[in-house]
Amino acid sequence: MTDLDRLLAFAARSRLPGGGFGYLGSDGTVEPGRPQETWIVARMTHVFGLAALLGRPGAEEQAAAGVAALRGGPLHDGAHGGWHSTEDDDTKAAYVHAFAVLAGATATTVGVEGGRALLDEALHVWDRRFWDDAEGLAVEEWTADWSRLSDYRGANANMHGVEATLAAADALGGAGADRLRQRALRSLERVVHGWARERDWRLPEHFTVDWTPLPGFNRDRPADPFRPYGVTVGHQFEWARLALHARAVLDDPPAWLLEDAVALFDAAAVRGWAADGAPGFPYTLDWDDRPVVAARMHWVLCEAVAAATVLAAVTGETRYGELASTWRAHGEERFADPATGSWHHELTPSGEVATGTWTGQPDAYHLAQMLLLDGRPVRGSVAAALR
């Protein structure tokens, strides 16, 4: 079985001498020549913060290094505020800033030096530049100087915005926490209770500036790592789980949070699993539930297991626990890499390592959270569950 300590030891190899974290290749070394990426730094900071809450040796120091890199490294824009997407890409993306909020929230929960300052700054930027209160959703991407906003709108960044907002609420507490949780609820209502429910639990990911769905978006680039065409099975599991995290911390949660989480989960499970006749979940489906990108992504399976785990805890129904165990066993058999202690990030439907969308094993975030949610209470965030 995948061991958390071994996974953390592998993740620690992403630490860069000059600060921050790099993108790990399948051999456990940072890929040479690849620019540092804010989402990687923020996710690693979050993961090591979670490990620090468990008392893992050296984890708090790793999280502190991530906080320092986010507050003062080359990815941080001291002139205009916020964070560049990468060292070579100075756009300001909601996806990146959601993870900056998450990293700050987890670091604040741990008590890492500079963690609260990071959270305060990241929330300030999120509030001022990304959160659209009239829509109850976040906009997508700005130029470096905040002078031009893209017309594209996306569900992916909003999903991680919900996750980060719930984590920030748990970290801060008080009256501000209620405001943040209500924001998360508004986004969940638009995306899950609105678009997903209206389309029989086939969640649109891409939208125009006025939030009109774009079902054909990226049809010519279906394997895009962040904006793929069609229905992204793993995101449906994530949204289902986030609805349950929100339900756990709201004073008077609406009944649809649980009802919709079950429906969205079931649709992803039934339509996704072995959709092409081979075991596992394809990356994406078209609007008639046919596989588009048949590659199996580790993060999709991790999110399926995590959602099933949380549903089992919330409902007490044995079928969810059985699914979590079955899917986890599939991951251990197919994805687990005994050489690294992590999981291969992409496989063919028959189980060979593939690189159509992802190279290497850069991401400890999905796998670590899958491991840490097992057997713990459901809270607004993983950090709060560990605390």
Q: Which residues form the catalytic set? A: 235, 366
The C-alpha atoms of residue 242 and residue 129 are separated, in whole angstroms, by 23
- Distance from C-alpha of 163 to C-alpha of 303, rounded to nearest angstrom: 13
Asked whether the beta carbons of 177 and 227 are under 8 A apart, the reply is no
Write down the residue that tokens 């017309």 correspond to: 151
* Cβ neighbours of 50 (radius 10 Å): 29
Own/partner pairs, 26-35, CB within 8 angstroms, 24+ separation: 26/337, 26/340, 26/344, 26/353, 26/359, 26/360, 26/361, 28/339, 28/340, 28/361, 31/359, 31/360, 35/86, 35/87, 35/88, 35/89
Q: Is 243 helix (H, G, I), strand (E, B) or coil?
A: helix
User: Residue 176 phi/psi, 5° resolution?
Assistant: -60, -30
Q: How many residues belong to the chain?
A: 387
Task: Tell me how crowded residue 257 is: count the other CB atoms within 10 A of its CB.
Answer: 24
| 385 vs 371: CA distance, rounded Å | 13
